[in-house]
Chains A and B, each alone.
Chain A
Amino acid sequence: MEKLPFSVDRVTATDLQHVPATTPANAIRGKVAGVKIVQGSGQPGTAPAVQMRGATSINTLGRSGGPLYIVDGVILGASVLDLDALNIESIEVVKGAAAASLYGSRAAAGVVQITTNRGAYLPDGETRVTLRNEYGRNQLANKIPLSKAHNFKYNPARLDSPWVNYQGRAVGRSARVPDTLYRISGAGTAVGSAFTSFKDKPYPGKIFDQIDEFFDPGFFYTNSITVAHKSRNTNFLVAFNNRRDAGVIENNDGAKQQTFRANVDHKFMDALSISLSASHNTLIRDDNNAGFFELTFMPPDVDLRSPNSDGQPYIIWPDPGQSLEANPLYAQAFREVTTTRKRTLGNLTVNYAPMKNVDFEGILSYDRLDRVTSDFYPKGYKTVNASTVNVGTLFKENEGIEALNGSLTASFNYDYGDLSTRTKLRYAFEQSESRFENGSGNNFAVVGVPTLSVTTESKQVGSGSTKIRAEGYYFITGLDYQGKYIGDFLIRRDGSSLFGPNQRWHTYYRASAAYRIAQEPWWPVPDINEFKLRYSIGTAGSRPAFTAQYETYSVSAGVISKGRLGNKDLRPEFSTEQEVGLEVGLMNRFLLEVTYANTVTKDQILDVPLPGVFGYSSQWKNAGTLESNTIEASLKAFIIQTRDMSLSSTLLFDRTRQEITEFDLPPYRTGPSQQSGAVFYVRKGEVLGAFYGRKWMKGHSELPSWLKNTADLWQVNDDGYLVPVGAGNSWTDGIRKKLWGTTVTMTGADGRTYSFPWGMPAPFQDESRNEFVKLGSSIPDFNLAFNTTFRYKGLTAFVLFDAQIGGQIYNLTRQWAYRDLMSGENDQIGKSDETKKPLAYYSTLYSTNLTNSHFVEDGTYLKLRELSVRYTFDRSDLAPIFGGWLNRVTLGIIGRNLITWTKYKGYDPEVGNSSGGNEATVYRFDGYYYPNYRNFTGTIEIEF
């Protein structure tokens, strides 16, 4: 690595062994600077979103915005990684175009190369068997506040029948009426009782913590066995892993994963060797994500576990009359949503070195993904309102992706005196095909037989397929003069069927140079053992989605209609990255690496709307430029290095800024879902990940020019909002002076009369009286990570902290809870009359789910991400007891996601969504997803 003129990070088994990651992508978290990982959903068996430096695509609809993954030379055909992190030997992270040009039109978002364990590293003749077991529990680390108070008239002394009507007569729960402090005089000034009613009363009788009712700490375990052997010409490694993660939801099965891997290397003769890597992975995941939404509407005084009238558990409608929503426990118990994913990877590498300086390598790799998804409602399934699912429905889909990649490389390594040269010529091809078939039907003729053949109504089928072909050639040469002057030049020509017919081929390049000044004989500071300056410029691309280039007509039920207009000139997005780096080594104990990277990605592939008369909705066009710059730094310190004791630490820092600099289409709202989820706004001159919507004024300076003259009629309340109070009043006078529900009328500087509801937050307007303004952005100010490893004899302790500083999250989970005022924030118990807020105050903030600043929250956090303490008994410790046949026994405890320090009000600030046009790393949006959870386990590892 020290002779590379660009930045490539490497994470080795040593870094990974302390806390084996639950997914491979999580393995690089906190170990590589400039890599942002967001586990947007904590659902077991799901992968996080990964972003290296700045985003390179504005709109990733229909394609992945994440890096290219390569496992043992297999370029994955699908962006999801099916691999047990326990099998990883090392991970190389190539962050941007300045280094990743080698992979041409697929590499703008970076490349992650994973190498799995092999037997090659064993001494000749040795066979090694490793058994590893880990067992522990999961736990929801943080709850969201749900309401524990009410605003109804009641008689606290009558626990059996506490609710009363306006006349004081006992009534049923659904006929209870709001308690109001006073009647508002004057017509048209209030809407119902919402201005004079406060959620400041405790529920009579038993109440439940509905979060506790819904979440249930599940178990977690992994078992693995690895057998490795090496002889003179052959080595192999066979591994089997079994993983079970029950998550944290009651009646949800979580995920089960089993992986089988076999890696074999054989040397036929000195010049010819062959390597085979093969793996098969099966993942079965409970994809039932029902309940997170409904949970935020459940009042605390209903028992979600009470049975339905027919005795079936989990009453379907726990709160008729007050809440529209169904029991969150019911769907988890009776609906079955399952994904079964099977993945087979195979790689054959043949290496032939006919001469000392020349070798040829042929690689053929195969990737097959089979996915079966199923969504089953049994006959008799209950819903709040009548629904087609009551008679039972089944949806099933089979999806398959098959990719074949191959390459042939000729390498020529020649030295000319002090100048070493490495030259490679490569041809690579790719073929990928995907297909799906699905079917659905309603109304099962027979109960308990969840197959489509027994459905009797609304049977529907669908299918589709795609095909991708690509090929490329590259030439690369590396020059190294005396280990001091290093150069690297690459040119690649790439063709792909995904580009428009007029744009099939594109050229990428890289030019890099490094100067290792400390290697100069005149270098005056011997303690600084490395001082490397490097510069690299490179280009790489991002490919369009399969359908983007095509003119499409949709044909459904024999009906033909226009879809999107095609584009024969559609090009890949084209990233140019320049990278400047400095690497400083001090006393062979400290290594500081600082890199500045600037990336310009032009030809953004964007969905450009067309005038209505065209009939086509839109056309994918190259219509924008996204620019980013990143500063990343890592400091590695090997503080103590003795035979018995070592202490090493790594500190990582990165900071990214990005902006849309060209945008040849109208701005648009976008986000994970169109119903209230389109909180991001994309337009020229804006950062990618900016929230737009209604902003509540927070200070007098935000009053528009035409209301500046009314400043003394406004005050900032204890929530920090600027609220109208009128002359002579304070924001605390709402109850004492009966001001809630009244109107503050004022004459603006423009002579117009303005009225505002007393005490309520008011929307900010810009000078054009526009209320749709910027609220914040999901881009962090910077990220930090710190890990340290301490070893004393057999004891090893490892700890990893990571932090995001700045950057905001849109918390829609919290906003929805305001709809029925069931958020704990709406409760007024314990507040003085001066600070109490009525129902209407929170409804104002809810704003009928309009995107607004109240729900834009600071995403800053510090996490104790990983912790492990392990003790290893080596052969010498074990020999007295086991007679020498045991090589090693390691006992340990492991914690993941242990503690999060944050002001974020959701379950976890690590939240986001990778649908609807970008990755969770950009779409920091909390939309009632499965929260990340804590995990604490014990582990035993035996090697013999």
Chain B
Amino acid sequence: MKHSKLFVAVGLVVAIIVQWGCMDLAVENPNNPDRQRAIVSAKDVESLISGSFLEWWTGTQKDANRPALTLSTMADAHTSSWGNWGMQDLSSEPRTPFNNSPSYVYEGVASQTWYNMYRAISSVNDGLQAINGGLKIVEGTTDNTARARAFGKFVQGLAHLWLACFFDKAFIYDETMNVLTTNFELKPYTEVFQAGVKMLEDCIAICNTNTFTIPNTWINGITLTNTQLKEVAYSHLARYRAGVARTPTERAAVDWNKVISEARAGVKADWGPIGDGNNWWDGTKFRGQHPTWTRADYKTIGQTDKSGRYRAWLETPVASRNAFVIETDDRRITGAGGGTTNGTDFKYNSPSPFRDDRGTYHHSLYYHARYEYHVLQGATGAMTSVKVAEMDLLVAEGLWRTGGSLQEICDLINKTRVTRGQLAPVTPAMGRDEIFKWLQYEKMIETFATGGGIPWFDRRGWLAHDLVYSSPGGPKPGETQLPPGTLIHFPVPGKELEVLQMAIYTFGGVGGQGAAPKRDSGILASLRSVRPE
């Protein structure tokens, strides 16, 4: 009896264990698919490619640990002394070297854009490899394979061109390379740039031989025909071909005839995605138009000042500069009612929100507000990234540099200068140098808070002149408009270098490598002139 009870009990135990035991411990992740589930169909492959533009946009236009606003402050288009995203560290004077340590609190300003670019490239390459393997993307009776291929090459090219413009070197990675078997080597920016150009040219070639329409979900809110995609590709080719130059010498050596032809083949209307307040937003237009976060730098908006205050500001030592009211005829900067009224593109807002102890030279009484709806309506609305004016002014600069017609150059400048700014037209009689100054001014104003990096690309390649600097000895030959010590390119992020087990290096700081050249004061220059180096 005693043992029979035991046997019953043990039997019960075994039965229950058999019932419950040997559970299936394989559980699928129902939230985020793996590669096998994410990319099971041709539609998924297409989605992999179509989603890559958002990665590029995030890395180049947003400000959350990305560089768009920081670059604008480094170029003295925006000004801000808040520490966020390295704005204070990289735009205060005297400029200091970029801290490329992975432990730097704002290291994301370099690393995040790096990883965004390679995430975009990696997704595109996965998609293009599937297509190269014979996959056809067919919807109904329509073969959309060429559309996907064109868009993939478009993003692949944009990402490489951004890497070339931003970093001193980077990896070239296209769909012909296997990430697991390729021995990747960091290539100088010139080679990365050429690779990016080739990718965009491939995109254009596909657009030339196929007819398609990019749906409005790929680049949020806008559709693109093959012709329009080609125009956007040409626009970026023109922008980055001019912008990849690190110094005035390099910019002068750019193939400006190509820039002219690419810009002329560029967009016919202002272009950019539509903000949705969620994934799609634009840092240069969000915090870049928020008077608490950023202001417009006098070096950009003060050039037409008639009151003499801008001139006095320039003549004042940097540390002693402070905010002032502009008096200008440019109705984009102020209203007709005077310096404390709002212009069409900039608004008066006093006082400046920045702390005195971080440099009163950061202070400005104006902020950019041309696309202020993006701030006021929760990061929605058009996020203009490429403007027709940018293309016009690239053509104008190309003409200026290739000995083109001064009248044609003036006409291109006056398109916005006169109509929007209500300023007196520039004329050939003003002379080449004067015209070029106002060309630069026009581009700084018209492209303000549009494509990420534009003012920094331009000012590292533009020579300093009296509207921008007024050191006692005047600008020196070969000096850029970037304050001395400003980074002219970023190092490969320290975080990536650590993963690659490579030595960390950096750029910037007055007299440092990879920085705008040091501008001597007149006295020091004269001392130098009598001292052997």
Contacts and interface: CB of A to CB of B under 8 A. Distances in A.
A381 interface: no
A555 B16 contact: no
A89 interface: no
Given A188-B318, A772-B101, A460 B278 contact: yes
Interface string A182-198: 00000111111110000
Given A191-B357, A358-B9, A458 B54 contact: no
A187 B319 contact: yes
B208 to A, nearest CB: 27
Contacts of B117: 612
Contact of A553 (B35, B52, B357): B35
A644 B116 CA distance: 75
B313 to A, nearest CB: 14
A669 B103 contact: yes
A610 B499 contact: yes
B9 A613 contact: no
Contacts of B378: 387-388, 442, 457-458
B30 A562 contact: no
B306 interface: no
B12 interface: yes
Given A429-B21, A471-B23, A849-B83, A613 B179 contact: yes
Interface stretch (B42-50, B325-333, B425-433, B450-458): B42-50
B292 interface: yes
Interface in A524-556: 546-547, 550-556
A193 B360 CA distance: 9
B279 A354 contact: no
> Which of B55, B105, B121 has the most chain A CB atoms inside 10 A of its CB?
B105
A819 B355 CA distance: 8
A468 B27 contact: yes
Nearest to B124: A615
A559 B32 contact: no
B30 A465 contact: yes
Contacts of B104: 772
A676 B17 CA distance: 52
B171 A354 contact: no
Given A191-B360, A355-B2, A388-B378, A427 B20 contact: yes
Contacts of A612: 114-115, 117-119, 171, 496
Nearest to B377: A388
Contact of A550 (B34, B48, B320): B34
Interface stretch (A213-221, A493-501, A512-520, A635-643): A493-501
B5 interface: yes
A674 to B, nearest CB: 8
Given A355-B2, A410-B13, A615-B118, A561 B52 contact: yes
B359 interface: yes
Interface in B6-64: 6, 8-10, 12-13, 16-17, 20-27, 29-35, 38-39, 44, 47-48, 50-52, 54-55
B291 interface: yes
A668 interface: yes
B216 to A, nearest CB: 11
A820 B23 CA distance: 60
Nearest to A848: B83
Contacts of B179: 613-615
B389 interface: no
A362 interface: yes
A198 B305 CA distance: 35
Contact of A189 (B31, B319, B499): B319
A360 B122 CA distance: 58
Given A192-B356, A408-B17, A465 B31 contact: yes
Contacts of B291: 385
Interface residues of B, number: 88
A613 B20 contact: no
B337 interface: no
Given A191-B356, A386-B376, A614 B122 contact: yes
Contacts of B29: 546-547, 550, 552
Contact of B32 (A174, A193, A555, A667): A555
Interface string A203-220: 000000000000000000
B217 interface: yes
Contacts of B499: 609-611, 666
A778 B299 CA distance: 47
A86 B285 CA distance: 56
B122 A560 contact: no
A614 B499 CA distance: 12
A883 interface: no
Given A362-B16, A560-B44, A678-B105, A324 B353 contact: yes
Nearest to B215: A558
Interface string B184-227: 10000000000000000000000000000000010000000000
Interface in B112-135: 114-115, 117-119, 121-123, 126
Given A321-B351, A557-B217, A666-B499, A360 B12 contact: yes
A467 interface: yes
A555 B356 CA distance: 46
Nearest to B173: A613
Interface in A386-443: 386-388, 406, 408, 410, 427, 429, 431, 442
B377 to A, nearest CB: 8
A504 B16 CA distance: 22
A840 B179 CA distance: 51
B23 A469 contact: yes
A692 interface: yes
A338 interface: no
A471 B317 CA distance: 73
Contact of B360 (A187, A192, A678, A843): A192
A138 B498 CA distance: 51
B503 interface: no
Contacts of A668: 102-103
A174 B317 CA distance: 26
B375 A613 contact: no
Contacts of A756: none
B440 interface: no
Nearest to B127: A560
B290 interface: yes
Interface in A656-671: 666-669
Nearest to A358: B6
Given A191-B319, A427-B21, A470-B25, A555 B355 contact: no
Given A504-B25, A560-B44, A612-B171, A464 B35 contact: no
A617 interface: yes
B187 to A, nearest CB: 13
B495 interface: yes
A276 B217 CA distance: 56
Given A191-B356, A666-B498, A615 B121 contact: yes
Interface in A882-929: none
Interface centre among B8, B10, B29, B290 (most CB of A within 10 A): B29
B279 A427 contact: no
Contact of A192 (B126, B279, B357): B357
Contact of A557 (B44, B102, B279, B356): B279
Closest 7 CB pairs of A and B: A615-B122, A559-B51, A194-B357, A612-B118, A388-B378, A848-B83, A354-B5
17 contacts: A189-B319, A190-B319, A410-B13, A442-B378, A469-B25, A471-B20, A497-B26, A552-B33, A553-B34, A556-B279, A558-B217, A560-B48, A617-B115, A666-B498, A667-B102, A674-B65, A840-B357
Interface of A: 174, 178, 187-194, 321, 324, 352, 354-355, 358, 360, 362, 384-388, 406, 408, 410, 427, 429, 431, 442, 457-458, 460, 464-471, 495-497, 501, 504, 546-547, 550-563, 566, 609-617, 666-669, 674-676, 678, 681, 692, 772, 819-820, 839-840, 843, 848-851
Given A358-B6, A666-B499, 9 more contacts: A187-B320, A188-B318, A188-B320, A410-B13, A429-B21, A464-B31, A471-B25, A497-B25, A675-B84
